[in-house]
């Protein structure tokens, strides 16, 4: 199954997350900008009314008002004295006449384009005073503020989109990794289980046919032996697959592992198989040396099992397989060596690929074992190398950091 649908789904999820996050940030900026504009407008209006009241209360004549302010005084006879250079259309004579006739003081807006004017008309003794203030400067200030807010909103939108895209990618990275691991595991399982299951089914059919045909005990025993061997191989494949699915998410604390003990256990498990194949097994480990590393015992045990299984699978009757442990500076070295069929040096790197097969006429199949061995060793901060020659055997060398390296 192609990984295309996963990529499409993740891309769609990232776009949705990015757009939603960017929209939330943009709306927040809009609300903030609106609040700033409201506060500024309110402050301007309050300042304008305060200036008009103070000027109207303290002005003795129409000369020298504040910039942008004009004063108009109407006496009892109705004559109006005005500040020089007053804008055309001022004063508001209707307001002057209403207050002069006994009306209450009033504040009115005059004009609407580009801010207009704000006028306060009130009585002072026998006279009526009208103070008019231009709102043009305040209007221009609001225009500049709106422009700045618009530019800030645009920049904020771009930053929000970029930040949201980055956050969405980071947020979906674990999901992408999980999907990739799941798809990888399914592909591995499908590939690895197909052959052993087919073999088991075939051998079960043969056993069924023999039993129905009244076959002798020897024939049935052979079929049962084949079934047992097949189930063992199937169990090893399942163990490899489970280990493969866990490698990417091992976060448990590592513990000291004695590789000499693990190697001895693995060799003990393979003794019967080696005896049946007439292959000699040897464990070489210096008694005075320490072969303790920090790691996951089950994973390291599986590595040694895979290497020993590989060696026994390609060592003919009368051959020899050894596991040699030693130290190299601050590292523990483990060498699994056999004098079997070996392999072409050109295939060295390919041996650790999943489902690798030998080349140049070598039909051996390495499956997941060696690939997982490299993943485990690399995950433990070590290295694994292979050496081989056709007909001269093979050797796999592991170097892992010693648990006692700080003391060396």
- Give the separation between CA 408 and CA 406, rounded to whole angstroms: 6
Cβ contacts of 159 within 8 Å, gap of 6 or more: none
**315 lies in some domain:** yes
Decide if 92 contacts 119 (C-beta within 8 A): yes
Residue 118 has pLDDT above 80, yes or no: yes
Domain assignment present for 265: yes
**Cβ atoms 90, 117 nearer than 8 A:** yes
- Tell whether 331 is covered by a domain: yes
For residue 139, the surrounding DSSP H or E stretch is: helix 136-212
In a domain, residue 375? The reply is: yes
143 in any annotated domain: no
Query: What CATH number corresponds to the domain at position 333?
Result: 3.30.565.10
Q: State the total domains in the chain.
A: 1
Which residues, other chains included, contact 68 with Cβ-Cβ below 8 Å and sequence gap of 6+? Answer: 133, 134, 136, 137
Pick 369 or 67 by higher pLDDT: 67
Report the share of the chain in percent with pLDDT over 90.
21
Place of tokens 């052959």: 195
The answer to whether residue 47 sits within a structural domain is no
Instruction: pLDDT band for 364, please (50, 70, 90 cuts).
Output: very low
- pLDDT for 255: 86
d(C-alpha 368, C-alpha 192), whole Å = 8
**Token pair of 65, please?**
């008002």
For residue 49, being part of any structural domain is answered with no
State both tokens at 340. 């079997």
Q: Is the pLDDT of residue 117 over 50?
A: yes
Return the bridge partners of 110, or none: 117
Which of 52-56, 101-105, 228-232, 292-296 bottoms out in mean pLDDT, i.e. has the lowest? 228-232
Structural domain range at position 310: 253-407
pLDDT band at residue 25, thresholds of 50, 70 and 90? confident
**Nearest residue to 293 (alpha-carbon basis) of 345, 252, 331, 329:** 331
The pLDDT-based confidence of 339 (bands split at 50, 70, 90) is: very high
């Amino acid at each position: 199954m192609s990984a295309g649908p996963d990529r499409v789904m993740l891309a769609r999820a990232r776009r949705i997350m990015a757009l939603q996050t960017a929209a939330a940030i943009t709306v927040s900026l809009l609300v903030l900008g609106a609040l700033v504009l409201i506060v500024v407008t309110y402050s301007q209006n309050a300042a304008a009314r305060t200036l008009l009241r103070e000027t109207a209360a303290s002005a003795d004549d129409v000369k020298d008002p504040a910039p942008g302010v004009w004063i108009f005084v109407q006496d009892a006879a109705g004559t109006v004295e005005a500040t020089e250079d007053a804008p055309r259309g001022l004063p508001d004579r209707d307001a002057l006449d209403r207050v002069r006739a006994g009306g209450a003081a009033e504040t009115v807006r005059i004009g609407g384009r580009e801010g207009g004017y704000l006028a306060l008309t009130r009585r002072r003794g026998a006279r009526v005073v009208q103070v008019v203030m231009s709102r043009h400067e305040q209007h221009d200030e609001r225009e500049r503020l709106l422009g700045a807010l618009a530019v800030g909103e645009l920049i904020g939108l771009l930053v929000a989109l970029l930040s949201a895209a980055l956050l969405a990618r980071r947020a979906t990275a674990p999901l992408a990794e999980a999907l990739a691991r799941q798809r990888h595991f399914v592909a591995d399982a499908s590939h690895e289980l197909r052959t052993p299951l087919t073999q088991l089914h075939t051998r079960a059919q043969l056993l069924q046919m023999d039993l129905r045909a009244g076959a002798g005990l020897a024939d049935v025993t052979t079929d049962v032996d084949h079934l047992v061997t097949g189930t063992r191989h199937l169990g090893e494949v399942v163990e490899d697959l489970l280990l493969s699915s866990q490698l990417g998410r091992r976060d448990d604390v590592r513990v000291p592992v004695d590789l000499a003990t693990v190697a001895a256990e693995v060799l003990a498990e393979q003794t019967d198989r080696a005896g049946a194949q007439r292959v000699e097994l040897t464990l070489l480990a210096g008694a005075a040396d320490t072969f303790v590393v920090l790691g996951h015992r089950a994973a390291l045990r599986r590595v040694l099992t895979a290497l020993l299984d590989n060696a026994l699978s390609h060592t003919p009757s009368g051959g020899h397989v050894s596991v040699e442990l030693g130290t190299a500076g601050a590292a523990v070295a483990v060498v699994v060596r056999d004098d079997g069929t070996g392999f072409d040096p050109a295939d060295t790197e390919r041996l650790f690929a999943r489902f690798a097969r030998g080349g140049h006429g070598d039909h051996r199949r390495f499956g997941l074992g060696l690939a997982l061995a490299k993943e485990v060793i690399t995950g433990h901060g070590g290295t694994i190398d292979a050496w081989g020659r056709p007909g001269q055997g093979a050797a796999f060398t592991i170097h892992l950091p010693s648990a006692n390296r700080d003391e060396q």
